[in-house]
Each structure stands twice: as structure tokens, then as C-alpha cells.
């Protein structure tokens, strides 16, 4: 997209994973209010239907594909539904995510693989399927929801950090590969968001404090994402505290290492 133009969301055909709650739900509502046509995915079909009902009451256009995004048939069904219902795809938003809070030695191979499947492989493989379709879209864009922890790893979240570092690296490489095709790629790196994420952890040790109610409201995160999409940004780190964490780590890694070793 030209730096001089802004993305128009009216009739933008959007796929969004992880749409049943948190950032995904907030993004879906705000995009619908701006005239986007949505295909939403999550495993919780009842929650998706509630969201779709709210969107339709406000005059929005939405279709649902409930299912496990780690399964290829679910990803294929999302693309097929968007093409059959809206005639193509202009944007995909990889928002589905899971996590764990525990020391690595107290975790398991199964937890690591589940986190990597949802947070990394599902996003990558949906993107792989979507790229040929996006190339014929209007102002096409891929939005990957990463994390500040994809810039700086912290204790007790080793598997989650690994998945977000992987998504960060993939996003940077793919953005350069797609530069000549006209497909934008936005990496969103939020800090803690107030959502149900922490209610559905795969594993949480007894000493870790719940953090999900202290973070940034998902509605504010969604607003910043939409502004970044409109402006053709490559990456945003939010909020200010997240930016400070990243810059402190870049400017003085030994200090950050000592702080994390002492305070976690």
C-alpha cells in the first residue's frame, strides 16, 4: 500500500482467528462498525454466535467458521467461506493464542507443542494458504498478533516467548518477501491485555499471580491496531510500558538480565 494512501475498511473482506474474546472480539466489533465484511473463527461456537449477533444488530456483515485453527480443514474452510460469501480475501488477522505460566522444568513437551501449534504454526499455515488469494485482494494485509515477549523473553513463560519470537522472525522475513506483491504485513506486539487469556492457561504454577485483569483493555488495543492497519504500519509495540521494556533491553541487555533474574 502506498505510504500516501490510507486503508479503507468499507467492504474489506477479513478473516480473523481467535475472535471469541479479547483482542479478536474487540477487533471484530470495530472492523464491522467500519464496514468490513468478516469471517470469524474460534473453537467456542456459542461465543462466536453471541458476537455475530451483536455485530448483526449493528448492521454488520459476518460469517462464522467454528473449529480448531490448528487443523488444516478449519483453515481451508475459512478461506473457502470468505471467497464464496464475499468474493475474495483482503485481510487475515492471526489472533488466536494460548499460553502457560510455569518454569520450563515444571512443564511438558505436550504443552510446548500445543503453544507452538496455536501461536505459530496455525498462523503461518493460514498465511501460506491465504497469500495467493490476498494477491488479488484490495489493499491486502496480514496482521500477526505477537507480543512484547516476542522481543524480550521473561522467566516462567519460556514456551510462550519462544512462540512469539518465532512469529516475530517469520513476520519480519515474510514482510520483505512480500514487498513487491503489494501485500502489507503488520506485526502487533502488545504487553499484557485485560482478557480471558489468563483464564485458559494450559499450565499455571501456584506462585504466579493472575495478570489478566491489570492489562490494557482489548478495546484500546483494537483501536491502535486499526489505526496501524489504516496507516500501513509495519509494527506497533503497545502500550508505552511495552516500548520501554523493549528499548531498555536493546540499550542495556545486562541490566535487563539482572532485573529479570532478581524480580522475574
Give the mean model confidence (pLDDT) for residues 188-197.
78
Q: Band the pLDDT of 34: cuts 50, 70, 90.
A: very high
Q: Band the pLDDT of 2: cuts 50, 70, 90.
A: very low
pTM for the predicted model, two decimal places: 0.89
Q: Band the pLDDT of 260: cuts 50, 70, 90.
A: low
The gap from C-alpha 55 to its chain's centroid, in whole angstroms, comes to 20
Query: Cell match 468499507: residue?
Result: 10
SS3 27: helix
Give the mean model confidence (pLDDT) for residues 174-189.
97
Query: Cell match 504487553: residue?
Result: 191
Lowest-pLDDT range of 24-38, 52-66, 118-132, 181-195: 181-195
Q: Band the pLDDT of 256: cuts 50, 70, 90.
A: low
CB 249 within 8 A of CB 154: no
Q: Supply the pLDDT for residue 191.
A: 84
**Tens digit of each residue's pLDDT (9 = 90 or more) over 70-82:** 999 999 999 999 9
pLDDT of 38 higher than 70 = yes
Compute the mean pLDDT over every residue in the chain, rounded to the nearest whole number.
89
> How far apart (Å, rounded) are the C-alpha atoms in residues 214 and 211?
6
CB 121 within 8 A of CB 72: no
CB 22 within 8 A of CB 45: no
**Percent above pLDDT 70 for the chain:** 87
DSSP 150: G
**Tens digit of each residue's pLDDT (9 = 90 or more) over 203-237:** 676 655 555 457 889 999 999 999 999 999 999 99
> How far apart (Å, rounded) are the C-alpha atoms in residues 153 and 130?
30
Q: How many other C-beta atoms lie within 10 A of the C-beta of residue 258? A: 11
Give the mean model confidence (pLDDT) for residues 52-79.
97
Query: Cell match 501456584: residue?
Result: 206
CA-to-CA separations, 104 to 24, 53, 98, 117, 202, in angstroms, rounded:
28, 41, 16, 17, 13
Q: Exposed (0-12), middle (13-18) or buried (19+): which is 87, by Cβ within 10 Å?
A: exposed
Phi, psi of 235 (to 5 degrees): -155, 145
What amino acid positions are annotated as catalytic residues? Answer: 160, 164
Lowest-pLDDT range of 103-112, 114-123, 220-229: 103-112
Q: Supply the pLDDT for residue 195.
A: 61
Q: Band the pLDDT of 99: cuts 50, 70, 90.
A: confident
Residue 82 belongs to what H/E stretch?
Answer: helix 72-86
Q: Band the pLDDT of 198: cuts 50, 70, 90.
A: low
Q: Supply the pLDDT for residue 206.
A: 60
More confident residue, 264 or 89: 89
> How far apart (Å, rounded) are the C-alpha atoms in residues 14 and 222?
14
Of 27, 39, 116, nearest to 76 (Cα)?
39
Q: How many other C-beta atoms lie within 10 A of the C-beta of residue 220? A: 16
Residue 244 belongs to what H/E stretch?
Answer: helix 240-251
Of 232, 235, 217, 207, nearest to 148 (Cα)?
235
SS3 113: helix
Q: Supply the pLDDT for residue 4.
A: 44
CATH number of 13-263: 3.40.50.720
Amino acid at each position: 500500500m502506498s505510504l500516501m494512501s490510507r486503508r479503507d475498511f468499507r467492504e474489506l473482506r477479513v478473516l480473523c482467528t481467535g475472535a471469541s474474546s479479547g483482542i479478536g472480539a474487540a477487533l471484530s466489533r470495530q472492523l464491522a462498525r467500519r464496514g468490513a465484511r468478516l469471517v470469524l473463527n474460534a473453537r467456542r461456537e456459542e461465543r462466536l454466535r453471541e458476537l455475530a449477533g451483536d455485530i448483526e444488530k449493528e448492521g454488520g456483515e459476518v460469517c462464522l467458521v467454528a473449529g480448531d485453527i490448528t487443523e488444516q480443514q478449519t483453515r481451508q474452510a475459512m478461506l473457502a467461506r470468505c471467497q464464496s460469501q464475499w468474493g475474495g480475501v483482503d485481510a487475515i488477522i492471526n489472533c488466536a493464542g494460548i499460553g502457560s505460566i510455569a518454569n520450563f522444568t515444571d512443564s511438558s513437551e505436550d504443552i510446548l507443542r500445543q503453544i507452538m501449534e496455536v501461536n505459530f504454526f496455525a498462523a503461518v499455515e493460514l498465511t501460506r494458504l491465504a497469500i495467493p488469494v490476498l494477491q488479488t485482494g484490495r489493499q491486502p494485509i496480514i496482521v500477526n498478533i505477537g507480543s512484547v515477549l516476542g522481543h524480550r523473553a521473561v522467566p516462567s513463560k519460556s514456551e510462550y516467548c519462544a512462540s512469539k519470537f518465532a512469529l516475530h522472525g517469520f513476520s519480519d522475513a515474510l514482510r520483505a518477501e512480500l514487498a513487491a506483491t503489494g501485500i502489507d504485513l503488520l506485526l502487533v506486539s502488545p504487553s499484557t491485555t485485560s482478557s480471558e487469556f489468563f483464564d485458559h492457561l494450559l499450565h499455571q504454577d501456584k506462585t504466579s499471580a493472575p495478570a489478566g485483569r491489570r492489562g490494557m483493555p482489548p478495546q484500546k488495543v483494537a483501536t491502535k491496531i486499526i489505526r496501524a492497519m489504516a496507516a500501513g504500519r509495519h509494527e506497533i509495540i503497545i502500550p508505552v510500558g511495552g516500548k520501554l521494556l523493549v528499548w531498555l533491553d536493546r540499550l542495556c541487555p545486562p541490566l535487563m538480565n539482572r532485573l529479570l533474574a532478581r524480580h522475574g
